């Protein structure tokens, strides 16, 4: 049997996770027992939410315990199974952890999704057709409630969720304006069909929003928090909806910067609403079907940013917080 | 004819309004011309929102111009009229300004409400049955959407709006918890029928909320902003509604303190929504009827805090920001 390598949480980080916050361990892979399934990871998903899972204290989910394998979504291939629901060669996605092999008992195996890599490549099941895409779908459509003709603004527009939000907004007849860092990202965003992209590294975001949203913002989908959230609040239209999906600019801060312009909610009769995609679990299949339809029809583009090598995990994760990824960030662990 | 005294805005305040930010002027009162009505002010309403109207720039309403009579709601008696809709002796409420006499043309007179002081004393028409009460009514019921059994928390609970919010919450079958400053205010709040009152001056608000709201806060009605808003956000129940009515702790600050705990909205799938009562103008009459019914039935108590003397206006206004008022703050300008 091969050897399994794992990234375990060694310490709760203060600020950006350091290499010393991780412990790389190895252990032999064992054969599955009754009901168990052994999955070899092929791609590991890197998600901003991971930073929150490393902190102490329960939020919407339990924290990763010190010494435990880091929680991670991943896609892989079944390499051994004593579970009748899975056969060797099946491709699956699910919470496999930051490790090369995951041995799941029958309860954990129920959380796996079998996917057909002949229809769509495995990375896409971790991106547009995975939790990232579902986050964009439910956050925009259910929380943001866009109407045709609305102006939808999304921050982190070149990121995994943001790129999908803007594309769905366009599909629903909205004007889509992205905010991203740097000309390469902005080019990527407008190539996806967004009406405009604001480069927060070189533009005054408040003024640029005023220019690109002359009637104000109807839906603002926030992935970043901080100054950009405040700039959006300063440009809300009456009755606007602000969707709080994440706050990547704040996850490594000792103290969260609250939105100073929150009284714009009062002036504009607007609302700010948060959500966690898990709350829509009962409707994942429905949403994924609609997204797959758009994907196959060429109406929705998926971009994955793939870094090779399991052992790069600690450094690759930091790319998210440094804004170095274009589209969905994945680590390729092994050849398919 | 008598002489009219007026408080005009002399300068835009930085921080708490100083006496020098006001100019006391006098001018003779003149007889009404065709369509005009002359109202003698009896009570002037003091409202936290006034501070915002003194700043430059339009929000939900135009600012008061430098040199103009300060905008103020007031109740008074018609002393002369060439408007067929108003007779001498009628009692009215409306935007009369911070002055002893208001001469309104026919367009402005359309904004006056005739009130029957034989049914309810004039101060109550500026309090529970006025914009303050309507603010509580629509903010709680329309924005907060409380359900029977919910825990409703309100800050500024001993203030004009807060005291009404908690009482309506009780009428709707909710648990009502107030937050106020000092034992006298807290006694007042519990005497009104609130289930509990937290004294933010002597208690740790986060811990006290945890104690009084063991299942979390379902509706939080915020009049104050700042640290207390953050404490409430730290105690939200799943799907909570945070109603942003005001932020009196912030109105005199150079820089607004944004809610650092706003990511609780994400974790709890909660929303924060602002409103301005003017948006519900079409339903004022309906709401006032229901409130009057509660009032007459003894189910809703009104408390007014009356300061004598028009010339106290600059100092009396500061009582709001120093938290020195109990219930609705009014200036008595003249005997009825």
pLDDT tens per residue, range B110-131:
999 999 999 999 999 999 999 9
Parallel, antiparallel, or unpaired for β A22-28 and A73-81? unpaired
Instruction: Note the pLDDT of residue A221.
Output: 98
Nearest residue of B to residue A272 by CA position?
B272
How far is Cα A160 from Cα A124, in angstroms, rounded to an integer? 11
Q: Cβ contacts (< 8 Å) between A259 and chain B: which residues?
A: 258-259, 262
* Residue A88: partners with Cβ closer than 8 Å, 6 or more residues away: A78, A79, A80, A81
How far is Cα A160 from Cα A313, in angstroms, rounded to an integer? 18
Instruction: Note the pLDDT of residue A225.
Output: 97
How far is Cα A273 from Cα B283, in angstroms, rounded to an integer? 26
- Contact call for residues A212 and A187 (beta carbons, < 8 A): no
- Contact call for residues A221 and A139 (beta carbons, < 8 A): yes
Each residue of B71-109: pLDDT tens digit? 999 999 999 999 999 999 999 999 999 999 999 999 999
* Residue B194: partners with Cβ closer than 8 Å, 6 or more residues away: B157, B166, B167, B170, B176, B177, B178
Residue identified by tokens 């966690």 is A276
ipTM of predicted complex: 0.94
Would you call B307 helix, strand, or coil by DSSP?
Answer: strand
Each residue of A137-169: pLDDT tens digit? 999 999 999 999 999 999 999 999 999 999 999
How far is Cα A1 from Cα A30, in angstroms, rounded to an integer? 7
Chain B (278-297) residues lying within 8 Å, Cβ to Cβ, of chain A: 279
Each residue of A185-213: pLDDT tens digit? 999 999 999 999 999 999 999 999 999 99
Q: Do A267 and B60 touch (CB under 8 A)?
A: yes
Residue-averaged pLDDT of chain B: 96
Q: Do B276 and A266 touch (CB under 8 A)?
A: yes
Q: Do A260 and B262 touch (CB under 8 A)?
A: no
Instruction: Note the pLDDT of residue B54.
Output: 96
CA of B60 to nearest chain A CA: how many angstroms apart?
A: 5
Confirm or reject contact between B145 and chain A (CB < 8 A).
Answer: no
Residues A211-217: what's their mean pLDDT? 98
Banded model confidence at residue A1, pLDDT cuts 50, 70, 90 = confident
Q: Which two tokens stand for residue A144?
A: 């943001």
Confirm or reject contact between A270 and chain B (CB < 8 A).
Answer: yes
Nearest residue of A to residue B234 by CA position?
A59
If one counts every other C-beta atom within 10 angstroms of the C-beta of residue A251, the result is 22
How far is Cα A3 from Cα A7, in angstroms, rounded to an integer? 14
Confirm or reject contact between B261 and chain A (CB < 8 A).
Answer: yes
Q: Do A256 and B263 touch (CB under 8 A)?
A: yes
Q: Cβ contacts (< 8 Å) between B264 and chain A: which residues?
A: 274
Sign of the alpha-carbon torsion through A38, A41, A47, A51: positive
How far is Cα A257 from Cα A237, in angstroms, rounded to an integer? 23
How far is Cα A279 from Cα A276, in angstroms, rounded to an integer? 6
Q: Cβ contacts (< 8 Å) between B248 and chain A: which residues?
A: none
- Contact call for residues B99 and B41 (beta carbons, < 8 A): yes
**In the predicted model, is pLDDT for residue B58 greater than 90?**
no
**In the predicted model, is pLDDT for residue B143 greater than 90?**
yes
Each residue of B240-291: pLDDT tens digit? 999 999 999 999 998 899 999 999 999 999 999 999 999 999 999 999 999 9
Q: What is the phi-psi region of residue B176: left when phi exceeds 0, alpha when psi lies from -120 to 50, beta otherwise?
A: beta
Cα distances (Å, whole numbers) of residue B288 to B45, B132, B134: 18, 11, 7
Each residue of B149-197: pLDDT tens digit? 999 999 999 999 999 999 999 999 999 999 999 999 999 999 999 999 9
Instruction: Note the pLDDT of residue B44.
Output: 98
CA of B62 to nearest chain A CA: how many angstroms apart?
A: 12
Banded model confidence at residue A336, pLDDT cuts 50, 70, 90 = confident
How far is Cα A289 from Cα A135, in angstroms, rounded to an integer? 14
């Amino acid at each position: 049997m091969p050897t399994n390598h794992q990234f375990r949480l060694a310490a709760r980080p203060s600020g950006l996770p350091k290499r010393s916050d991780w412990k790389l361990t190895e252990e032999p892979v064992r054969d599955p027992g009754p009901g168990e399934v052994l999955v070899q990871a092929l791609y590991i998903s890197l998600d901003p939410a991971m930073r929150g899972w490393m902190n102490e204290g329960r939020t919407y989910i339990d924290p990763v315990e010190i010494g435990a394998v880091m929680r991670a979504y991943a896609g892989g291939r079944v390499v051994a199974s004593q579970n009748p629901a899975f056969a060797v060669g099946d491709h699956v996605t699910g919470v496999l952890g930051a490790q090369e092999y995951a041995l799941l008992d029958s309860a954990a195996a129920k959380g796996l999704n079998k996917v057909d890599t002949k229809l769509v490549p495995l990375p896409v099941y971790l991106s547009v057709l995975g939790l990232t895409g579902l986050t964009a779908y439910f956050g925009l459509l259910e929380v943001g409630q866009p109407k045709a003709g609305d102006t939808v603004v999304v921050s982190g527009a070149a990121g995994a969720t943001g790129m999908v939000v803007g594309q769905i907004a366009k599909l629903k007849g909205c004007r889509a304006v992205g905010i991203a860092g740097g000309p390469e990202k902005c080019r990527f965003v407008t190539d996806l069909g967004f009406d405009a992209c604001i480069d927060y590294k070189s533009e005054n975001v408040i003024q640029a929003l005023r220019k690109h949203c002359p009637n104000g913002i109807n839906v603002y989908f926030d992935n970043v928090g901080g100054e950009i959230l405040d700039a959006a609040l300063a440009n809300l239209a009456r009755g606007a909806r602000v969707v709080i999906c994440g706050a990547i600019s704040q996850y490594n801060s000792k103290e969260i910067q609250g939105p100073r312009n929150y009284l714009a909610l009062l002036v504009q009769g607007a609302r700010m609403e948060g959500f966690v995609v898990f709350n829509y679990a009962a409707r994942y299949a429905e949403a994924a079907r609609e997204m797959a339809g758009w994907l196959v029809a060429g109406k929705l583009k998926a971009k994955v940013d793939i870094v090779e090598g399991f052992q790069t995990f600690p450094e690759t994760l930091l790319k998210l917080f440094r804004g170095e990824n274009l589209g969905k960030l994945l680590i390729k662990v092994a050849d398919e």
